[in-house]
Structures are given as C-alpha cells and as structure tokens.
Chains A and B, each alone.
Chain A
Amino acid sequence: MSAHGATVESHVSGTTKLFLWVWFWLLVLTGIEVLLAYLRLEPRLMLILLVGLSLIKSALIVAYFMHMRFERLGLFLTIVPALVFCLCMILIFVFPDSLRIVQMHP
C-alpha cells in the first residue's frame, strides 16, 4: 500500500504472474477447506478454522484482485477500520449469548 501514489489517474499495477499466483493460492486454501470437511471436527472448532481460512482468502482478494494493496493508505484506513468497528458493534450483542449457548450443550 503506497502512502503516496503520485498521480490521480488510474494506474496499472500488478502483473499477470502475480494474479495467477494469488488465484493459485486461493484454490489451495479452498482445497484445504474441503479437506477439513472430511475430518468431521467438532462444529465450533470447524467454524473457527473455516472462518480463519476465509479471512485469509478475502484478504488476498481485497489486496490483489481489488487492488487495495496498490491504493493509497488513506482508502484502506477509510474502509477497513469502519468495517471492523461495525462488526465489533454487532458482535458485542452476539458474544454474551453465544457463550451461553456453549454452556448449554457442550
């Protein structure tokens, strides 16, 4: 993420090779997720692992496919912390109840 992209005009960033690599890694991570399904893990652990892997995948998509890595830092700082903040606000109300569920049936 360059803090000082000099021009206002849209710019060509990244190479075909880079995008193919990102695509390849996204497929690998998807493959790992499908393999996890065969292990029949306990749902909570499974959910945590799957969401973790999905977060990595979405970070790859946002950074490279959506060019966020080549945008100014300011755009990232405008979008992502706001999203994280809103999600935390939602989770504040869900977490206590979720913890109660965990105790209800272990």
Chain B
Amino acid sequence: MSDTELDFSAASSWSGGVSPYATNTKKLGMWLFLLSDSLTFSSAILAYAYVRLSSTNWPRPFEISPAVVNATVMTLVLLSSSLTMVMAVHAGHKGKRKSAVWWIIGTMAGGLLFDFLHLSEWFRLIFNEKVTPWSNPWGDPLFGGTFFGLTGLHMLHVTIGVIYLGIIAYGFGRGKYNADHVEVSGLYWHFVDLVWMFIFPMIYLMSVNLKG
C-alpha cells in the first residue's frame, strides 16, 4: 500500500491532494469563462467573415478620416489600458495597494474613453448616415446587422469590464479583495482587448473607403 502512495505523489499531480494548475480557482474559472466567451465572439466573427466575403455589394463606408483614424485611436486607447492593467496587477502582487488602485482607475478611464469614441462613431452612423441593423444607404443591408452586432457585443464587454474594475478597485483599496482578484479582473480586461484586435481589422480595415 505504501508503495502505491509513494507512486501517487511521485507520478502525477493529477492524483489528488495537490493543485495541478498551481493557481487559484478564481483564475481557472475566469479562464474557462473566457474560453466560452471567445467561442461566442468567434462564431459572430466567423458569420461576419462569411457574409462579408460572399457579398459582392458590401459597403465600404469607413473613410480614412474620421472613421479609420478614430478606430485606430480606439485601438491605441484599449492597448494602453491593457498596459495600465498589467501595471495594476504587478503593483497588486507587490503589495502596493494604492498604486494598484490608481493603475486600475487609469484602465477604467481608458475603457470609458474607448466607449465614448465608439459611441460617437455609432451616433454618426445612426443619425448622419441613417444606418440601421437592417438597412443602409450604400449596399448590402447585412452591413448594419454585423457592424452593430459585433461592435455592440464588444462595447457591452468593455462597459461591463469598467464596472467590474470599479468594484475590484473599490474592494482592493479597502482591503476586502486581494491581489488575485485584481489579476483575475485583469485577465478579463486583456480578453476584451484581444477581441478588439480581431474586430478592428475585420470590421474597419476590411471596409476602408480610399476615395474619401
């Protein structure tokens, strides 16, 4: 019997009694959530790519200025907010509570700026160009559906992320949460950034209007 027990401890970390991922359950849970969320986005992006390539009349409404410049600035903002989030996680693990909270607030500011820029883009399309999810003045009516669907789902994630980070910053500042909570919220934020790395080129750069 004792031999078997010895084998247990030596053979595998999957036999129980240890933590095979060497991580906390919150982080594993967040990774599993992100796995399922990435499938949601993948399906939506795949459906978009399919109709985009099968259409011969797909609108190219995004002129270099303001639309592409705006979207590039949004990308810059989101990437930089990911960097501040990394700094927040870093500071959190080093026990610098105050510094971590300020980095998180910086990240939230980036998220809000992103939302603001994106909504101004939406309003321009809705009110100036009269684009709806089922019609637009330029061509294939599916353009509006895919554009608002994909960017709207992403914007929802950014907005939820800002609220989530706000709760984490408040709790971490008051000592209610530990550095692991900050790290897990960071995972979510980086994922939102990652998804935008697909949406930005596929929605905007695939439909640039060079004549404008």
Number of interface residues of B (CB under 8 A): 55
Chain B 172-212 interface residues, beta-carbon cutoff 8 Å to A = 179-180, 183, 186-187, 190-191, 193-194, 197-198, 200-202, 204-206, 208, 210
Determine the chain A residues whose CB is within 8 A of the CB of B94 once the complex forms: 12
Chain A at the B interface: mostly helix, strand, loop or mixed? helix
Determine the chain A residues whose CB is within 8 A of the CB of B20 once the complex forms: 72, 74
Confirm or deny: B112 has a beta carbon within 8 angstroms of a beta carbon on chain A. Answer: no
Contacting pair A47 B35 (CB below 8 A) = no
Chain A residue, CB-CB nearest to B205: A37
Contacting pair A101 B53 (CB below 8 A) = yes
Contacting pair B194 A7 (CB below 8 A) = no
Confirm or deny: B19 has a beta carbon within 8 angstroms of a beta carbon on chain A. Answer: yes
Chain A 55-74 interface residues, beta-carbon cutoff 8 Å to B = 57-58, 61-62, 65-67, 71-72, 74
Determine the chain B residues whose CB is within 8 A of the CB of A66 once the complex forms: 186-187, 190-191
Cα(A101)–Cα(B52), bound, Å: 11
Chain A 83-98 interface residues, beta-carbon cutoff 8 Å to B = 83, 86-87, 90-91, 94, 97-98
> Out of B43, B52, B197, which one reaches A57, CB within 8 Å?
B197
Chain A interface size band reads 35 or more
Determine the chain A residues whose CB is within 8 A of the CB of B204 once the complex forms: 37
Contacting pair B76 A10 (CB below 8 A) = no
Determine the chain A residues whose CB is within 8 A of the CB of B50 once the complex forms: 94, 97-98, 101
Hey, which bits of chain B sit against chain A, CB under 8 A?
Answer: 13, 19-24, 28, 31-32, 35, 38-39, 42-43, 46, 49-50, 52-54, 56, 68, 72, 75-76, 79-80, 82-83, 85-87, 90, 93-94, 179-180, 183, 186-187, 190-191, 193-194, 197-198, 200-202, 204-206, 208, 210
23 residue pairs of the A-B complex, CB under 8 angstroms, read: A12-B93, A16-B87, A23-B79, A27-B79, A30-B75, A37-B68, A38-B210, A40-B210, A43-B52, A46-B206, A50-B201, A51-B198, A53-B201, A54-B201, A58-B194, A61-B193, A61-B194, A66-B186, A66-B187, A75-B31, A98-B50, A101-B50, A101-B54
